[in-house]
């Protein structure tokens, strides 16, 4: 049996932008953690913004309901509805 000589493929070019940005496992781990922190802060800020918009849109309804609680409805057309005298 003769063994064939198989040559290894040429090494990848490690001079690109990604190779310079992420040269080793420690730096990759650090950058992944940093990205996760920024994503978490962004999600919390987004939830805060959504809550503020929701609260502002529903605030007038609550104020009106609180102001008119226990009072009969009033009509602007005279002769229709309850008397306010």
Let me know if 22 is exposed, middle or buried by CB neighbors in 10 A (0-12, 13-18, 19+). middle
Q: From CA 30, how far away is CA 38, in angstroms rounded?
A: 13
How far the first Cα of the chain sits from its last, in Å, is 115
Per-position pLDDT tens, the chain of length 85:
566 777 777 666 666 777 777 778 888 888 899 999 999 999 999 999 999 888 888 766 666 666 667 666 665 556 555 555 5
What's the predicted TM-score (pTM) here?
0.47
């Amino acid at each position: 049996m003769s063994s064939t000589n198989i040559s290894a493929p040429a090494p990848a070019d490690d001079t690109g932008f990604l190779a310079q940005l992420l040269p080793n496992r420690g730096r990759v781990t650090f950058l992944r953690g940093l990205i996760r922190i920024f994503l978490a802060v962004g999600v919390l800020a987004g939830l805060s913004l959504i809550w503020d918009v929701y609260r502002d849109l529903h605030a007038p309804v609550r104020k009106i309901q609180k102001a008119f609680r226990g009072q009969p409805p009033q009509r602007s057309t005279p002769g229709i509805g309850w008397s306010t005298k």
